[in-house]
Structure formats: structure tokens, C-alpha cells
Structure 1
Amino acid sequence: MDVLLPIAVAIPLLTVGAVLALRRHPNARETASVLGGLALAATVLALWPSAGEDLRFELWSWLPGLSLEFALEPLGLLFATVAAVLWPVTTVYAAGYLRAEGEHGQTRFFAFFALTIAAAMWIALSANLITLFIGYEIMTLATWPLVTHTGGPNARRGGRTYLAVLLTTSIGLLLPAIVWTWLLAGSTDFRPGGLLAGQAGTGVLTVLFALYLFGIGKAALMPVHRWLPAAMVAPTPVSALLHAVAVVKAGVFTVLKVTVSVFGLDTLTETGAAAPMTWVAAFTLLAAAVVAMRSDNLKRRLAYSTVSQLAYIVLAATLARDVAVAGGALHLVTHAFGKITLFLCAGAIAVTAHRTRVSELDGLGRAMPWTFAAFLVASVSIIGLPPLGGTWSKWLLLLGAAEADQVVALVVLLVGSLLALAYLLPIPGRAFFRPPLEPVGHGEARPALVAPLILTAIGCVALFFAADAVLAPLAGTLELP
């Protein structure tokens, strides 16, 4: 089964080649993209029975403790599964969206999309910090052409912000943190219980933990979050890729991975080294939610919602409790399905109704019932209400805060959910219960746009009943309730 690890990275790379080779045949090009996604999903799902085994595949080693190597472990398997399963769904949607909008450079779009998924697989299966860092940088560079896809001054400005923030944080903060870790521990390999156990005092660990969390700019902690709303100049399928399938999920996955396998939960609990970053995550969670609530532009509201929801996962990491980390890992999955649904709905609305502001959505639910029903389902999941998947991730996060005796964190988590209710539910409420601002001269979005968002909304429901199965691989590394 070890060979499946490099195969999971190779499939998206082969898809890049197929997309470029079929650039003159759009139907065949997009079919190749979907087939590549289905093949990757099958490959990653085939790894689930081996979740508890020590599968490894070494690409290259040049010094002891420094190598390019893949390994299978539960957190990485969850992230890889999210990216692999959502890739073909997003590809179908992207094909419908780009054709409806008459976008240029569609071959380039699908090629870089597949390259981004390859980077996601590389990150998810990394056996050490060096391997992860390389995949992390490749993802940044692969997504920049997607962010700037539409061209024009706004796209170029957004792309500059995107690159500047992510490269500055990774090279200026994350890379020094990795080097410091190697100097302390003599290795960059991920290790159960953490690399740094007994290797440094509280002060060093506190500074190092902050370097990692701010250096992982894709997790969008304030004040290194500006790249995320800036990237909303991209086409909606790219927004879905950024927020659900790959980029931000790579960020919060890396936060969880570093917390568990570099520092170790016991070390963080005993030293209290994560405590200062708890306040940063709490502030980000609430501040971003307030900005989302005040934003009339739909994509901007969803972007700041993502910043807030990512902070739930970072907060879980700083609590340094098994149940909190399990909640953060589950939230990575449930938020992915919920947020991709919201962005797919936003794109369907923009293409069909040509409306991009929340204040313009009155009465649209009567013309686009499937789209707004899916938006409602995803909203309820992200808020954390039953019977949707987000219920269990929010519940585990609350249990983690209670176990850590963090009353402030407990209150922040509850207030954050109330704010999510305030910035998400009014959108389907306006669409279904207010009279239209003007006569609606269109119906539901085209099937290529509606079918994917219905599938991901069904996924939000399914996760309510499948939460135990999602968390099962973590049972060997975390003590679950």
C-alpha cells in the first residue's frame, strides 16, 4: 500500500498533462479533469483501511533528519480525503461556470487547478516539516494564476496581496521556525508526542509556537488574513478552491499537524506555551465574524466567515486537548462541505441572477429554490445546529474548552456561533420571505451549477450521521470521548 502515497500525488500531475494535451478539445479536457478527480478520490479512499499502519515512501534523503518523504497518518488522511472528494465536484461546477461566463484561459485554469490539488496531496502526506514546506510553497505559487485569472487591475492587485502575504509569512516566519526546530530537535520528522518534548523551555516554545501560527499564513489569523478577502477577485470556483478544497484547509491542517506532531499536546499543556495564541485566535474569530455581519457583498461576507471559522480550528489547537483537536479536525471536514456549498451557491446566483450583494437577494428564493435551499443547509451546518455535520465539530470544541477550563474560549465559541447565525441566516431568509425588488426574469441556475451544490449540501447532512466514521482514524492518536 506504500506505493499509493506517491500515486496520490502523481494523479493530479498526470491530469495537468492531460488537460494541456487536450487544450483544443474542451469536452475531452474537462472529462479528463473529472476522471482525474475520481481516480484520486478512489486512491485516497483506498488508504482508509490502512489508517493505523505506518506507511512510508521516501523520495530523497540527503542528511539524517532531512529528507523528502511521504507518510500516512490520520490528520493527513482527513485532509487528503476532503481535497480528493471535492475536486471532481468542483471541476464539474467550474466547467459550467466558466462556460456560462465565457471566461478566457480555461485550459490554464484547469491545469493550475489540478496542480493545486497535487500540492494538497503533497502537504497532506508529508512525513516531515521540510517536505510539507515545499508543498506549501508550491500551493501558493500554483494558486496565484487562479487568483489573477480574470485579469485587470483588481485581479492584479488582489494577486499581489495574495503572494506578498503568503510568501512573506512562510519565508519570514514559518521557515525560520522549521530551522529552529531542527536545531533544537536534530530532526524535522513528525513524531507522535511531538519533536520538541523536553527540548526547550516555556519561553522558547511560546515564541516558536507563535512563529508557526503566524507563519502559516494560509490559516488566516489576524493580522495576516488580508490575502483571503483580497483573493475574492478570482472566479467563484477559485474561491471554492481557496476556502474549502485546498488552500485554507492546508493552513489549518498544518496548524493541527504542528501542534500534535511537532510540539505535542502534553508539552503544550504542561508549559502553557500555546496560551498567548489562544487570545489571538479568539480575537480573530469574533472580529472576522463582525466584519462578515457588516458586509453587503456576498463573497466578502463569505470570505470573512471563513476567517472566523478557521479561527475555531486554530483555537482548538491552542487548547491542546485531545477532544479539542478532534473537534478541530472534524471542523476541517464539516466546514469544507459547508463553505464550498455557500460559494457554489454564490456563483450560481451571480451567473444566473447577476446579483452579488446580500441586499439584492430579496425574493430570489422563489426563482432559485434549490440554490437557496442548499445555502440554508450549509449555513445551518456552519452555525453548528442539528441535524447537520457542523453540530458535532462545534460540540467537541466546546467540550475541549470545558476540559481545558478555558471559560473565555467557551464564551467565544458560543458567541461566534451566534454571530454566524446573524450573518448567514438572513441571506436565505431574504431570498425566501421578502418580496422581490423587481420582477425576476429567470429560473433556477443551469444543472451543471446546481447539481454540485446539491451534492455538497447532502454531504453536510451526511456528516451529521457519519461523524464517528470520520473521526475513527484519529482514535489511535487522540483520546476521543
Structure 2
Amino acid sequence: MIAWLPVLVPAGAGVATLLLGEQRSRARNVVNLGAALASSAVVLLMARAAYTGGAEAASRIAIVPGFTLGVSGDLLGLLFSAVATVLWGVTLVYAIGYMEHARDRARFFGFFAWCIAAANGVALAEDPVSLFIFYEILTLTTYPLVVHSGTPEALAAGRKYLYYALGGGAALLVGVAWLATIAGSTPFTPGGALDAVSGRTTELRVIFGLMVAGFGVKAAIMPLHGWLPGAMVAPAPVSSLLHAVAVVKAGVFGIVRLVNELYGPALSTSLGVATPLAVAAAVTIVVASVIALRQDDLKKRLAYSTIAQLSYITLGTALCTPLAAAGAVAHLAHHAVMKITMFFTAGSLAETLHVKKVSELPGVARRMPVTMASFAVAAFALAGIPPLAGFASKWLLGAGASEGGSVWALLVYVSSGALAIGYMFPILIASIRPGEFPEAAGPESDRRMMWPIVVVAALTIAFGVTAGLPGSPAHWALTAIAPSFGGWTP
């Protein structure tokens, strides 16, 4: 039953939040923060057991005859779950400050908790059918957050999000159902679970394409990315956690499961489906990075950066080499802390100084030095500057590309790093230029917003510095991915 707690605890917190209503804000905050702490503790305890070779926690619930919903605490899923759950707690503190004077906070925090429950379900799903169920629940629980403000712009962004997400979900449903028809029940298995039907090459290729299309919407692979920049109209906590961590990472995580634990690296390569996926990811990396260079709106620049960085993960997975696959999984965690720092900063700038564009940044570093110093840490990390988190995962991705003889992929990673410098450093340079903002006479912003930014920036440093140590996200990724490559050891 313990395997269900990361899903059930936030789900229960969401129900309690809505029942408490709008006026009982203190009780609502206690419930949500308590649920975040409890969920994080459970996930980390399960991870410790799995990391030290203990039995994986697993449980299945019979829904209807012949169909069960299953979760399992394997290392790969627990890494995604740990990232989502721990950062939920940090984001809650930020959101309490950010949403202090907003309307409909009970609805906001209730759906926020349900999104984390669904994300944990995606992370821990034992098989493709279970993953699909949680994946679609994540879509439905996210929509109210995207449209939370109720403005025409938000409602239009929400409709666009639903069109893309439900269209992708339909493709995923067809792929999952077709696969179940020819292969039966197929639990995720390191190295692949389709040996018995590996001769049905045409069907497997089409199913792979359908499932990539389904996951590719949330993974924002071009041209399936159109919903993401528009969804930046959502409140900053939504952009921070759900569009830098939970929702978009659910898409790339689905691709990681598909390649490594459903088809397996060997079958993916022999079917010829890995190469088109790698090419699509490479194109997305370069094109999204170039588009980011031209964005004056700060959140949209960050959104296109996210599109590019997500495809780092997809490309690393599609290369089907151990180091690249491990780098992809490590980048899932590292990108989360880097980008959530940036979205927190964008939200704080908008809320405190009403600054939303790069062209409006001159002087903000003088007015908000701690916030902008934290942003600088994340920007340097995203550009791959050692010894920060981005360098560690990008080193593994580059080494994996070289390991597989994919020099072109290595060049894509290097060129994208240069482009990241091109779209991140102007933000820093603009912020330190003389401007109209004086030094702050008191706290530079609401402390409930400032300190979470410092915490996630510190994690960006810590994840890089400790990358070679057991328990770090990079080492965790290496350990989690090793079984998918037979006798390979990190």
C-alpha cells in the first residue's frame, strides 16, 4: 500500500483544500504543506530502499474484471516522483506569498495538489495502461490552473492546451490499446518487454509513432509544442512547477519509459524508430533555442528555452546508449531546479516590480540583488558552466553521444549550449545596467517568494557539486538506467 501514498496523500490534500473553502487559508496551507512533507518523506524512503537493493514497493487495484491500476516504486519512477514532490513543497511556500491577494485560492491549491497526485501516478505507473490513465488525469487537473485568472487570454490558452493535450491523448490511447491487443499485459521492464512480439515490425513502428505523438505533446517536441508558450499566462507558481517540472516532464518521462522499458534500446534501434525521434528532438533543440533569442517577453523566452531543454532529454534517450540515457534522466531532475528558479524569478519580478519583459530589466539587480543572483546561478547552469547541475547532465549527454558515435548529436548539444548563452546572458546584462529602480529600503520582495528562489538556486549548485556521489540525481540516474542496458555498469 505504501506505493500508493505519493498519489493518495496529495489527492486527499486536494479534497481537503476544497472542503476547507476560501476563508480558512491557514488550515488550507497547513494541510498542503503537511501533505507535501509527508509525500516527500514517503518517496525518499521508498527511494532509499530501492537504491540499497531492497524490494520495490508495488501495488495493484482491481478496477473492473481484467483491468487493474498498478504502481511500482522503481528507481527511475521514484526520481521523477521525488523531483515533483519535493519541489511541490517549495512551490507551495512561493505560491502562498504570490497568491496572497488572489481570488479562488481554494480552487487553485486544490487542483495544484491533484496535479501532483497525477504526476506521481505517471512516475510510478507499472504499465502503459496505468500510465495512460494518470497521464490523462494530469491533463484534466492542469486545465483549471492554466485558465485560473479567467481572462480571455487565459481561456484561449486553456482551449489551445486542451486541443493539443486531448489530441495527443487520443493518439496515446490508440497506441496503448493496440499494443495491449497484440502483446497483452506489458509491465515496464528494463531493457524492453516486447520480445514475444518483436517480429511484428510494422505494427510496432506505427504504435511507437502513436505513443511518441501522445507523449510528444507534453514533451513539446516541434510541431507539437504550440500550447506551451501560450500557457505562460497562468500564474507564476503554475508556470514554475507544472510547466517546468510536472506536466512537461511527464511527457519526456513517458518517452524514457517507452524507449528504455517498453520497447528497449535494442528493439528501438533495430526497428529504426530511435533515429527519427532523435532527429525530431535535435531540430526542436536548435529551432526553439533560436526562437528564444528573439523573445522580449521574459516568460516566453523561458518557455522556448524549456522546449529546447526538454528535447535534450528526448535526444539523449533516443541515442540508445547508456551514458546518454543516464544523462537524459539526470537532466530531467537538473533542468527542473534550474528552470523553476527562473520561473520563480520571473513571477517575483512581475509581482513586485511589474516587470515582464527583458527590455524592462535595467536596474532590477540593484533593486532585487538576491533574486537576480539566484537567477544568475540558474542561467550559468543552463548554459552548462561547471560545476553546476546543467554541466553534469550535459557532460553525460555529450559523452553518451560520443560513446555511440553520434558526432552530429554532440554538435547539437554544443551549439545549443552556445545559443543558451545567447538568450540567457542578455537577461543578466540587462538587469545590471543602470535603471530606474533604486535599492530596496527593506526586504526586496515577499520573503515567502524570495527564500524559495534561494533554495532552488542552492539545489542547482548542490546537484552539480555532488554529481559523482551516491544519492545525487546524476548517480541516481546512472543506477536507474543501468538495468536497461544489460550488463553495463556505471
TM superposition score normalised by structure 2: 0.93
Residue 204 of structure 1 deviates from its aligned partner by 4.0
Contact (CA 8 Å) 2:269, 2:275: kept in 1 or not? no
Per-residue CA shift, 1:157-195, capped at 9, x if unaligned? 000001110111111x11111122223322232122212
Where 1:405 maps in the other structure, the secondary structure is coil
2:164 maps to 165
Contact (CA 8 Å) 1:330, 1:467: kept in 2 or not? no
What are the equivalent positions in structure 2 for 1:200-349 lying under 5 Å apart? 200=199, 202-216=201-215, 217-349=217-349
1:474 corresponds to which of 450, 470, 480: 480
Contact (CA 8 Å) 1:330, 1:393: kept in 2 or not? yes
Per-residue CA shift, 1:67-125, capped at 9, x if unaligned? 211112121010000011001100010010011xx211011000000000010111111
Where 2:60 maps in the other structure, the secondary structure is strand
Contact (CA 8 Å) 1:205, 1:273: kept in 2 or not? no
2:376 maps to 376
Q: Do the aligned partners of residues 62 and 322 (structure 1) sit closer, same or farther apart at CA in structure 2, a change above 3 Å counting? A: farther
Where 1:47 maps in the other structure, the secondary structure is helix
Contact (CA 8 Å) 2:186, 2:194: kept in 1 or not? no
Contact (CA 8 Å) 1:228, 1:303: kept in 2 or not? yes
Residue 203 of structure 1 deviates from its aligned partner by 4.4
Where 2:99 maps in the other structure, the secondary structure is helix
Contact (CA 8 Å) 1:209, 1:274: kept in 2 or not? no
What are the equivalent positions in structure 2 for 1:5-404 lying under 5 Å apart? 5-23=3-21, 24-51=23-50, 52=53, 53-60=55-62, 62=64, 66-99=67-100, 102-171=101-170, 173-197=171-195, 199-200=198-199, 202-216=201-215, 217-404=217-404
Contact (CA 8 Å) 2:205, 2:273: kept in 1 or not? yes
Per-residue CA shift, 1:119-174, capped at 9, x if unaligned? 01111111011111010000100010000000121011000001110111111x11
Residue 401 of structure 1 deviates from its aligned partner by 1.1
Residue 409 of structure 1 deviates from its aligned partner by 1.1
CA distance in 2, matches of 1:272, 1:407: 19
**What stretches of structure 2 of length at least 5 have no aligned partner?**
none
Contact (CA 8 Å) 2:384, 2:391: kept in 1 or not? yes
Per-residue CA shift, 1:250-281, capped at 9, x if unaligned? 11111101111111012123333211121111
1:410 maps to 410
CA distance in 1, matches of 2:128, 2:489: 26
Where 1:54 maps in the other structure, the secondary structure is coil
CA distance in 1, matches of 2:149, 2:321: 43
2:429 maps to 429
CA distance in 2, matches of 1:106, 1:62: 36
Contact (CA 8 Å) 2:319, 2:404: kept in 1 or not? yes
Per-residue CA shift, 1:277-310, capped at 9, x if unaligned? 2111111011111111110000000011100000
Contact (CA 8 Å) 1:335, 1:382: kept in 2 or not? yes
Where 1:477 maps in the other structure, the secondary structure is helix
Where 1:457 maps in the other structure, the secondary structure is helix
CA distance in 2, matches of 1:439, 1:90: 27
1:193 maps to a residue whose letter is: G
Of the structure 1 ranges 460-469 and 391-400, higher mean CA displacement relative to structure 2 is found in: 460-469
Per-residue CA shift, 1:177-236, capped at 9, x if unaligned? 112222332223212221223523554444332222221111110111111111111111
1:25 maps to a residue whose letter is: R
Q: Do the aligned partners of residues 361 and 96 (structure 1) sit closer, same or farther apart at CA in structure 2, a change above 3 Å counting? A: same
Contact (CA 8 Å) 1:41, 1:81: kept in 2 or not? yes
Where 1:374 maps in the other structure, the secondary structure is helix
2:99 maps to a residue whose letter is: L
CA distance in 1, matches of 2:49, 2:401: 31
Q: Do the aligned partners of residues 74 and 114 (structure 1) sit closer, same or farther apart at CA in structure 2, a change above 3 Å counting? A: same
1:91 maps to a residue whose letter is: L
Contact (CA 8 Å) 1:178, 1:188: kept in 2 or not? no
Residue 475 of structure 1 deviates from its aligned partner by 6.0
**What stretches of structure 1 of length at least 5 have no aligned partner?**
none
CA distance in 1, matches of 2:199, 2:425: 47
Contact (CA 8 Å) 2:325, 2:481: kept in 1 or not? no
Contact (CA 8 Å) 2:244, 2:306: kept in 1 or not? no
Contact (CA 8 Å) 2:119, 2:138: kept in 1 or not? yes
Residue 63 of structure 1 deviates from its aligned partner by 6.0
Q: Do the aligned partners of residues 42 and 251 (structure 1) sit closer, same or farther apart at CA in structure 2, a change above 3 Å counting? A: same
User: Share of identical aligned residues, percent?
Assistant: 42
1:268 maps to a residue whose letter is: S
CA distance in 2, matches of 1:203, 1:402: 30
1:161 maps to a residue whose letter is: K
1:142 maps to a residue whose letter is: T
Where 2:223 maps in the other structure, the secondary structure is coil
Where 2:193 maps in the other structure, the secondary structure is coil
Where 1:57 maps in the other structure, the secondary structure is strand
Contact (CA 8 Å) 1:185, 1:195: kept in 2 or not? no
Per-residue CA shift, 1:359-400, capped at 9, x if unaligned? 110121011001100100011112211121111110111111
TM superposition score normalised by structure 1: 0.95
Residue 62 of structure 1 deviates from its aligned partner by 4.9
CA distance in 2, matches of 1:439, 1:166: 41
Residue 323 of structure 1 deviates from its aligned partner by 1.2
Contact (CA 8 Å) 1:345, 1:371: kept in 2 or not? yes
CA distance in 1, matches of 2:371, 2:437: 18
Where 1:70 maps in the other structure, the secondary structure is strand
Q: Do the aligned partners of residues 463 and 104 (structure 1) sit closer, same or farther apart at CA in structure 2, a change above 3 Å counting? A: same
CA distance in 1, matches of 2:81, 2:185: 24
CA distance in 2, matches of 1:166, 1:439: 41
CA distance in 1, matches of 2:259, 2:221: 16
